[in-house]
């Protein structure tokens, strides 16, 4: 701090101003040391050591003050990053679930249409094949029933003739 000299260059005014400044500084330090938390700190070994080594105390104070800003900025950045990650994760999960749901809603009607078409084709083949078999191979069916291998059409006719004769 620069001391101001009086208008006439008298050093006595500079000394009195310095004494006033020193008195204010001493008053401020006495109030500072009177704080209960500071008294607790000064009663520790570290506080007593820093009290005996003021240059080291000033270095620790400057380091603490200068390190507070970068550490605070880093912690703020980390906190904001965590919040953004959580929010982004939620939005990304919602997006993925929406895409999955829309895909499912698109696939299910396709599966439904496919199953109906396959069912129609299988039923058409069944009806067609059964009609073709009953038309071209009548001995294989007896009014929709398959005959036993030992049974034939002739024996059926013979039995029906016998039944007609009995009446």
Question: What digits encode the pLDDT tens for the residues 99-154?
Answer: 999 999 999 999 999 999 999 999 999 999 999 988 888 887 765 555 555 555 55
Q: What pTM does this model have?
A: 0.41
38 within 8 A of 32, measured Cβ to Cβ = yes
Helices (H), ranges, the chain: 11-34, 36-42, 45-52, 54-136, 153-166
Beta-carbon contacts of 147 under 8 Å, excluding residues fewer than 6 positions away, are 139, 140, 141
Tokens describing residue 4:
């101001």
Rg, C-alpha atoms of the chain: 53
Q: What is the pLDDT of residue 39?
A: 85
35 within 8 A of 29, measured Cβ to Cβ = no
Q: Is the pLDDT of residue 71 over 90?
A: yes
141 within 8 A of 147, measured Cβ to Cβ = yes
């Amino acid at each position: 701090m620069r001391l101001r000299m009086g208008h006439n260059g008298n050093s006595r005014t500079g000394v009195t101003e310095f004494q006033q400044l020193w008195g204010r500084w001493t008053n401020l330090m006495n109030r500072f040391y009177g704080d209960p938390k500071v008294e607790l700190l000064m009663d520790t070994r570290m506080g007593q050591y820093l009290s005996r080594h003021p240059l080291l105390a000033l270095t620790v104070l400057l380091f603490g003050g200068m390190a507070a800003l970068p550490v605070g900025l880093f912690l703020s950045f980390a906190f904001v990053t965590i919040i953004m990650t959580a929010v982004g994760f939620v939005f990304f999960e919602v997006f993925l679930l929406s895409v999955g749901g829309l895909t499912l809603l698109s696939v299910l009607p396709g599966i439904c249409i496919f199953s109906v078409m396959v069912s129609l084709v299988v039923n058409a083949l069944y009806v067609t094949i059964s009609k073709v078999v009953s038309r071209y191979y009548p001995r294989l069916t007896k009014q929709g029933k398959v005959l036993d291998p030992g049974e034939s059409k002739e024996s059926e006719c013979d039995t029906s003739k016998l039944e007609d004769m009995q009446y």
